[in-house]
Chain A
Amino acid sequence: MLEGLAMPAPDGDSAPFWNGCEEGKLMLQRCDGCGQASWPPGPVCASCGGDRLTWVESQGRGTVYSWVVVAVAFTPELADQLPYAVGLVDLEDGVRMVTTFEGCEPNEIEAGMEVEMRFDESREGQRLFCHVPAGSDRGSR
């Protein structure tokens, strides 16, 4: 996981997600009406417009949809963490999220590759997840 980046201020819509990360859990909203999971967090279901959303825990498994390998430090904190792979994972829950891909060389990442979620245990500040190749015994960086 990357260190030192600006973190958002949680609000009423997103606090359960950020609190979940602190506990090492990925929390998503699922619509009571249509059953669709939605992302990013919000007050209404993006699929059906329903306003009864329940927070549920995701296992965080999915497949790689897209990614870039960042080679330039856009903030000073990133300078000694290059290169890193940031991209999009399609979760089994039916949402697409931004994540970092770790536990493999950047040139080993492929579209459709199965990945699993890992939470950083040692991190100071807000805990975050990353994704590693499925079945990998390698943790995050």
Chain B
Amino acid sequence: MRTLAQRRAITAWSFLTPMLVVLALVAGWPLLRTILLGFTDAGLGDFGESQFIGLANYRGLASDPYWWRAVANTLGFTLISVSIETVLGLIIALTLNTHLKARGLVRAAVLIPWAIPTVVSARMWGWMLNDLYGVVNAMLLGLGVIDRPWAWLADPTLSIASVIAVDVWKGTPFMALLSLAALQVLPREIYEAARVDGVSAVKVFFQVTLPLIRPALFVAILFRSLDALRVFDIIYVLTGDNPSTASMSVYARQQLIDFQQGGMGSAAATALFLIVAVFATIVVTAGRLRIGGVVR
């Protein structure tokens, strides 16, 4: 005779097993294989004939200034774009949370950039940002904001700014939607109490709204950051392999495909995985502390 707890455990495992098997096959096995390939000198297309070479790929990675450039680019890109997306997304969510007419329509319109496949929107922005026949320069020149066409995607400083701007355009709706979801479940009474007490709107936002939506906002930031750390499509479509904007994923692709160095590319991919894992751990730990602080 099994106890209730045992029976429950068996039921739980029987539900979990298919999912765990699928995960092991589609996520675990490729990850393991990539990590193993990172210790070999495999070339593209001849993974079978590779030799174990220990940490040589990682030493090569550590001594390649372009790798560190890619790490710096990716971290900078993530920090700046996710910060801007969070602030803009929150502002849009607060606006949508008021009693607008045709709120559903506006909400749908806001989501459009998020719904367009990234490659398509990046290509579209690539044309709009072209220095000679792009609409962005034509508009700015027409308004007299700039006096000569700017090279949005060629100038090293402007190109990273352009990439961030396009990512913000695309990522903000996601942040807005998640913030809005958090805002809509907030209890109305607190706001009525604040209004009765005559608390200013700014104070209400920072003392009431922000602490209450912080857990949800935090999850949204975590999702966006993990997404931004492995950014590939926007950067690759807009500026290609150009080292002044290349992210870690772009670097890994170049090693793996262009240079046909399966081992080196896998090492770069593994390093990318580790950096993302460390980042996620730090953010989750920091977030837990802060959520704990709120509860206290």
Q: Determine if chain A interacts with chain B.
A: no
Using a CB–CB cutoff of 8 Å, the interface residues on chain B facing chain A are none
Using a CB–CB cutoff of 8 Å, the interface residues on chain A facing chain B are none
